[in-house]
Amino acid sequence: MRAGGSLGVWLLAVGQTVGFACLFYLFAALILSIHADLGWDRRLLAAGPMLSIGVTALLSPIAGRMVDRGQGRILLIAGPLLGAVALTGLASATLPLVWLASWAVIGIAHAMSLYDVCFAYLVRRYSSDARPRIIKVTLVAGLASTLAFPAGAALAEAYGWRIAVLVAAGAMAFVTLPCHAFGTALVRADTALSDRPRQVGPPPPMLRNPAFLAIAALLVLTGLNHWMLIAFLVPLLTGLGVGLPVAILAASLIGPAQTLGRLFLMTVEARMGNRAALRLMLASLIGASALLLAVGLAPVLVFAFAALQGSAMGILTILRPSLVAETLGQGNFGAINGMLSIPAHASSAFAPVLAAAVLQGAGPYGLVAVCLVLALATIAAARAIRPV
């Protein structure tokens, strides 16, 4: 990869970082300020981001198909602009309809411009050499929550949540958009592939493909395991006997642990294939849930849990596109990867609801037991993943 191509990948990484901070983590960063100002029911407020996730899931196959046709650069540039418009609308929301409509458009912008499209673009450009570029993007983008929470809290406290959202809109327009525009231009110059729209055949019938179904099952199981734990992590840990300060500290380490997992994979990238990385991810995921059963006896184990859980999900973020390309082929990669986004996003959307029900009915140990079973079930899904 020439210097220009390398710079292009790093620019995409910056664009993805700001994009995730503004479109994905914004709600969590500002929820307290928004609720205090609007006074709406929390369920109504939460319906906005859930609607956004649903829209993203439904549109991901279409966006992936456009990448396959050579239109990935258009999506990566237009998405941030649409995101800026949607955030501007969100900042003016005084009615539930405006709130929900703005989040729906945010979902469209997410589907056009974040991980799925970015990774599909890199896979189309660099083929089997895309994994190290994807690792670079995720290394930087893993800092999105680190950027969103303190910046959002500081802006909301100083100027109000509406100004904070307008700043996010400006960041999408004046940081993410130019980073994507210049980044894709440099990546295009680094590769011989044309960006001219092209015709591609329809994707094969994936719902009858055992490998596709196995990968979908893997994503659903890991998504449910992770987000059921994360949605109520602090109260879950305190319910298991961990002190509140330790629980908060452990929860804050999940994000950095994802980055460490990606750093490790980058370090051993040349020596570790997709199958070995998959086994490592599964072992980390299962080990994390198993450790939670013992944190009441030894609270220090909660830090080992955070390290294993975070690193497992960090590795999976990188592994997914390369595993899909290796198993299902690179033809129609964008459309196929987009179809896999539907169950992946659905699991993250419904996991908090399921976790709340299990926590209420079976208590903290019941929730951990369910998550451990989900983690163990990933072994069967992984074994069923075989190249077509």
Rounded mean pLDDT of the chain?
A: 90
Q: Where are the alpha helices (DSSP H) in the chain?
A: 3-23, 26-38, 42-68, 72-91, 96-113, 115-126, 130-141, 144-159, 161-171, 177-190, 210-231, 233-239, 244-252, 254-267, 274-292, 301-328, 333-383
**Is 66:334 a contact under the CB 8 Å cutoff?**
yes
CB atoms within 10 A of CB 122: 27
Pick one of 3.50.50.60, 1.10.10.10, 1.20.1250.20, 3.40.50.2300 as the CATH number of 208-383: 1.20.1250.20
Amino acid occupying residue 111: A
Domain 3-190: CATH class, spelled out = mainly alpha
The widest CA-to-CA distance across the chain, in whole angstroms, is 61
In degrees to the nearest 10, what's the CA dihedral of 350, 355, 358, 363? Answer: -170
* Top-confidence range, 87-101, 233-247, 321-335, 352-366: 87-101
The reply to whether 208-383 shares the fold of 3-190 is yes
219-261: pLDDT as tens digits: 999 999 999 998 788 889 999 999 988 988 888 888 889 888 9
Q: What is the pLDDT of residue 325?
A: 85
**DSSP assignment letter at 387:** -
Q: Which residue's entry shows tokens 């929301």?
A: 93
What does the pLDDT average to over 332-336? Answer: 84
Residue 362 pLDDT exceeds 80: yes
Q: Comparing 42 with 298, which gets the higher pLDDT?
A: 298
Q: What is the pLDDT of residue 43?
A: 80
**Is 129:316 a contact under the CB 8 Å cutoff?**
no
Q: Comparing 199 with 306, which gets the higher pLDDT?
A: 306
257-309: pLDDT as tens digits: 988 898 888 888 767 888 999 999 999 999 999 999 999 889 999 999 999 99
How far apart are the C-alpha atoms of 12 and 380, rounded to whole Å? Answer: 35
Residue 338 pLDDT exceeds 90: no
Confidence category of residue 371, pLDDT binned at 50, 70, 90: very high
Q: What is the pLDDT of residue 194?
A: 54
CB atoms within 10 A of CB 16: 26
How far apart are the C-alpha atoms of 76 and 334, rounded to whole Å? Answer: 14
User: What are the residues whose beta carbons fall under 8 Å from the beta carbon of 156, sequence distance 6 or more?
Assistant: 29, 30, 33, 163, 164
Specify burial of residue 39 (Cβ count, 10 A radius: 0-12, 13-18, 19+): exposed
Q: Which residue's entry shows tokens 């006074």?
A: 39
Q: What percentage of the chain exceeds 70 in pLDDT?
A: 94
Q: What is the pLDDT of residue 97?
A: 97
What does the pLDDT average to over 154-169? Answer: 96
What are the boundaries of each domain within the chain? 3-190, 208-383
What does the pLDDT average to over 158-177? Answer: 98
87-135: pLDDT as tens digits: 999 999 999 999 999 999 999 999 999 999 999 999 899 987 888 898 8
Q: What is the pLDDT of residue 180?
A: 98
Amino acid occupying residue 272: M
